[in-house]
Amino acid sequence: MTVENGTSGSRAVELEIGGKRRIFDIDDPKLPDWISDKALISGGYPYDKKLDNSLYESELKTLQIELVKAQTFLKDSGKRVMALFEGRDAAGKGGTIFAIHAYLNPRTARVVALTKPTETEAGQWYFQRYVTHFPTKGEIVLFDRSWYNRAGVEPVMGFCTPEQHKHFLKVTPTFEQLIVDDGIHFFKFWLNIGREMQLKRFHDRAHDPLKVWKLSPMDIAALNRWSDYSDKRDLMLDKTHTKTSPWTVVRANDKRRARLNIIRHILLSLDYAGKDIKAIGTIDDKILGFGPDAFKS
């Protein structure tokens, strides 16, 4: 629940974390120690330090060179790639997409981040507004959130009925099988973060004038619905993880490790001219897993 903390206009939320009641005031410029001390290791994260930034920048550049090579091959061959990026608010979806897209030719690589449906779109087949953004030959399309809104935020926040949610989980594997059968290289990424890390990132956004636009009233409203989001995530993974359209689950408390391993997974999954396996490197299986049993928190 939201509580008053004595400061006019401030937002404070009472949370239960680790069996303790905590007050989180996002407007207080000082991040509480109970968040800062546990943010990185929250949710069972396996590392207690971020990846060194100089190492990250070096490895990222190498992988981005491989992405450019892969894009050139896709353009020449007419192959199509589509990737969905899902996760809780502040999981790092946008930053990961930016790292992938940064040096790609924008003529054949697009980012799709749709707003809430219009009245017309709300009356259409649920998947219709997404299908219009699917890749044409030689194109890469990266979805910053997708039709999986109906598996998470919509049922949690009451934006769809229980029947609509149930129907979505039933028909989505069939819908995605059609995507794969049409020859699209299809990736689904769930970026998983711990609760304290989410609070830290929300706080960072609230006090950074360049990122404050990323924090919405709905983010605050959802703070006490962590367990509900977890339940819906687990159900989504259970019902929509299939052999042909699997969920890749990424421990994302350290954005650097998450981005590198996501890009590696994409590159290792594609065949393209000039592919340098040694440069791509190997997946860290402490960071990247698959399906409903991966890294629950």
Q: Is residue 20 part of a domain?
A: no
Question: Which pair of structure tokens corresponds to residue 63?
Answer: 């992988």
Q: Is residue 10 part of a domain?
A: no
pLDDT digits (tens, 9 = 90+) for 231-255: 999 999 999 999 999 999 999 999 9
Q: Taking residues 203-221, report their average pLDDT.
A: 93
Per cent of the chain over pLDDT 90 is: 92
Q: What is the pLDDT of residue 252?
A: 98
Q: Is the pLDDT of residue 186 over 80?
A: yes
Q: Is residue 196 part of a domain?
A: yes
User: Which one, of 108, 106, 192, 110, lies nearest residue 144 by Cα?
Assistant: 110
Q: Is residue 16 part of a domain?
A: no
- Look at the chain and report how many structural domains it folds into: 1
Mean pLDDT (the chain) is 95
Q: Is residue 1 part of a domain?
A: no
pTM: 0.95
Q: Is residue 136 part of a domain?
A: yes
Residue burial 59-89, b: 16+ Cβ < 10 Å; e: rest? bbebbbebbebbbbbbbeeebbbbbbbbbbb
Give CA separation, 155 vs 161, 162, 170, in Å. Answer: 7, 7, 15
Q: What is the pLDDT of residue 177?
A: 98
Q: Is residue 295 part of a domain?
A: no
Give CA separation, 67 vs 49, 99, 155, in Å. Answer: 27, 10, 36
- Give the domain extent around 74: 52-290
Q: Is the pLDDT of residue 54 over 60?
A: yes
Q: What is the enclosing helix (H) or strand (E) of 172?
A: helix 162-181
42 burial (CB, 10 Å; 0-12 / 13-18 / 19+) is buried
Q: Is residue 135 part of a domain?
A: yes
Q: How many whole angstroms separate alpha carbon 229 and alpha carbon 235?
A: 10
* Chain centre to alpha carbon of residue 93: 4
CATH number of the domain bearing residue 202: 3.40.50.300
pLDDT digits (tens, 9 = 90+) for 3-39: 444 344 568 999 999 889 999 999 999 999 999 999 9
Q: How many whole angstroms separate alpha carbon 108 and alpha carbon 1?
A: 46
pLDDT digits (tens, 9 = 90+) for 68-111: 999 999 999 999 999 999 999 999 999 999 999 999 999 999 99
